Amino acid sequence: MGTAGKVIKCKAAVLWDQKKPFSIEEIEVAPPKAKEVRIKILATGICRTDDHVIKGAMVSKFPVIVGHEAAGVVESIGEGVTTVKPGDKVIPLFLPQCGECNACRNPDGNFCIRSDITGRGVLADGTTRFTCKGKRVYHFANTSTFTEYTVVDESSVAKIDDAAPPEKVCLIGCGFSTGYGAAIKTGKVTPGSTCAVFGLGGVGLSVIMGCKSAGASRIIGIDLNKDKFEKAMAVGATECISPKDSTKPISEVLSEMTGDTVSYTFEVIGRLETMVDALASCHMNYGTCVLVGVPPSAKMLTFDPMLLFTGRTWKGCIFGGWKSRDDVPKLVTDFLAKKFDLDQLITHILPFTKINEGFELLYSGQ
């Protein structure tokens, strides 16, 4: 492309500070350095994790370009890049896969040492590729997709099938993969089992899709917002309940409903109270509870250790347990083979300049 090796000026949604709306700005995106890839973003999803940065629940440096759920095309590559080339369709990865660290080498590991969930805000060499109005702008989670062009490390990009529609498969960059994998890979849901899913946003719906795919016979959706029940039932929930409809603890409600047979629970909200509720709601001896929602930073959890002593398993889950560079291309192939339907997870498609409206839709539960 004619832009290779040059600075690109483009539009980006910049967050200048916490609790401020996005500002659509013209930014400069520097060319990729060695082992880096510059990507033209074609479509990006809105995820609650981006909102955690706005609200201050997640640590970040400012100004920053957030966004981490996207699909695009490689515009140019830096020296030494061997796994993608200009013109390749790709998904940027907030969870890199360097292939060399302990987590990457372990067959059960996926939390690569190069991950940035602590808000470093820079690429592997310690610098950023974005500037705006003469100021450097920080990266977010190795991706920064709320911009027309971004630069990522080679370990944070997966080449996907050229036939994949970007406005759908962008969800495989975070929300869908996280929920679907939480059920299939992390929770290892078994055929005929009973599952309960706390939180029926996009990731929660993806957990339900994973439980259904794994053969669960009963999938109970739980949310305070009953407007979400119809969509949950459409993707595979067998019933839905609101904790507001009973004075009893939700764990007791679920126990009575199921005859105390809930094998798997999933917390897909990121609230400390619901994390303990979800743990208490799976079977006291053989139950597994998976934490999927991003917890608020700098908060500590208090719970009764007897909940674990009787035999329950409590598991964390990042990106659904997938090894990002290995598994994302396979998930895209599965989508193209119609093994799951992403249309159910897409409620609105907006032009990039209406990104603030997109977040209003998120806040209102739509």
Per-position DSSP letters for 321-343, written without gaps between them: G--HHHHHHHHHHHHHTTSS-SG
CA-based R_g, the chain, Å = 20
Neighbours of 281 (CB within 10 A): 26
Verify that 312 and 325 share a domain, yes or no. Answer: no
Q: Strands, E, within the chain: which ranges? A: 8-14, 23-29, 36-44, 70-77, 89-92, 130-132, 135-137, 149-153, 157-159, 194-198, 218-222, 239-241, 262-267, 288-291, 313-316
Verify that 168 and 206 share a domain, yes or no. Answer: no
Q: Are 80 and 32 in contact (CB under 8 A)?
A: no
Q: Are 168 and 192 in contact (CB under 8 A)?
A: no
- pLDDT score, position 107: 95
Q: Going residue by residue through the chain (366 aa), what tens digit of pLDDT does each one get?
A: 589 989 999 999 999 999 999 999 999 999 999 999 999 999 999 988 888 888 888 888 999 999 999 999 999 999 999 999 999 999 999 999 999 999 999 999 999 999 988 888 999 899 999 999 999 999 999 999 999 999 999 999 999 999 999 999 999 999 999 999 999 999 999 999 999 999 999 999 999 999 999 999 999 999 999 999 999 999 999 999 999 999 999 999 999 999 999 999 999 998 999 999 999 999 999 999 999 988 877 678 999 999 999 999 999 999 999 999 999 999 999 999 999 999 989 989 999 999 999 999 888 878
CA distance 268 to 298: 19
Q: Which residues pair with 64 in a beta bridge?
A: 15, 138
Verify that 160 and 299 share a domain, yes or no. Answer: no
Verify that 235 and 138 share a domain, yes or no. Answer: no
CA distance 147 to 67: 8
Q: Which domain holds residue 244?
A: 187-316
CATH of the domain at 64: 3.90.180.10
- pLDDT score, position 1: 57
CA distance 61 to 53: 9
User: Is 1 within a domain?
Assistant: no
Q: Which of 25, 12, 19 lies closest to 54 in space, CA to CA?
A: 19
CA distance 215 to 299: 36
- pLDDT score, position 303: 92
Instruction: Tell me how far CA of residue 326 lies from CA of 40, 69, 156, 319, 329, in angstroms.
Output: 22, 17, 11, 13, 7
- Overall domain count for the chain: 2
Give exposure, 83-113, as e/b (b: 16+ Cβ within 10 Å): ebeeebbbbbbbbbbbeebebbeeeeebbbe
From its phi and psi, is residue 215 left (phi > 0), alpha (psi between -120 and 50) or beta? left
The pTM score is: 0.93
Verify that 336 and 289 share a domain, yes or no. Answer: no
Verify that 150 and 267 share a domain, yes or no. Answer: no
Verify that 293 and 325 share a domain, yes or no. Answer: no
Q: Which of 221, 202, 191 lies closest to 281 in space, CA to CA?
A: 221
CATH of the domain at 214: 3.40.50.720
Verify that 325 and 312 share a domain, yes or no. Answer: no
Q: φ and ψ at 170, to 5 degrees? A: -55, -30
Q: Is the dihedral of CA 192, 195, 200, 202 positive or negative?
A: negative
